[in-house]
Amino acid sequence: MSIFDTGRLCLKIAGRDAGRRCVVVEKIDSSFVVVDGDVRRRKVNVKHLEPLDTTLEIAEKASSANVKDVFSKHGFAVWQTTSKKPAPRPRHLKKRREATGETKTKE
């Protein structure tokens, strides 16, 4: 039995998600686990995790929806995904001659 078994609540101590809570969803080997929760779901090195005393009831390879339900039941925040759709680009509008008051005359 390892300390980083499925369901172990951890604190991410390195990387972009440092300081956030996560739960071990899948154990890959002795050095790597898959985590989810208030972090992006990803494979991480156990050296970047600080295990906490709490163990949550989560099935092996649980979906993000299941993790979200368990986290909200225990009162923890959950990572919110955002749309990858970029913001619309502003359109460049041509100036109209009538709007500027200029008139074009041929001589």
pLDDT in tens, 21-72: 999 999 999 999 999 999 989 999 999 999 999 899 999 989 888 988 998 8
Residue 98: its pLDDT value, please? 66
Give the residue numbers spanning the domain of 45: 8-74
% the chain with pLDDT above 70: 87
Residue 24: its pLDDT value, please? 95
- Whether 13 is in a domain gets the answer yes
Residue 13: its pLDDT value, please? 94
* pLDDT-based confidence at residue 101 (cuts at 50, 70, 90): low
Closest by Cα among 33, 50, 51 to 42: 33
Long-range contact set of residues 28-35: C-beta below 8 Å, sequence gap at least 24: 30/2, 33/4, 34/61, 35/10
- Whether 53 is in a domain gets the answer yes
- Whether 104 is in a domain gets the answer no
Domain CATH number, residue 34: 2.30.30.30
**How many structural domains is the chain composed of?**
1
* Cα–Cα separations (whole angstroms), residue 6 to 15, 37, 47, 86: 21, 13, 16, 36
Please check the confidence at residue 99 and state whether its pLDDT lies above 80: no
- Whether 39 is in a domain gets the answer yes
- Whether 62 is in a domain gets the answer yes
| Mean pLDDT value of segment 14-27 | 92
- Whether 84 is in a domain gets the answer no
* pLDDT-based confidence at residue 11 (cuts at 50, 70, 90): very high
- Whether 89 is in a domain gets the answer no
* Contact (CB, 8 A) for 82 and 88: no
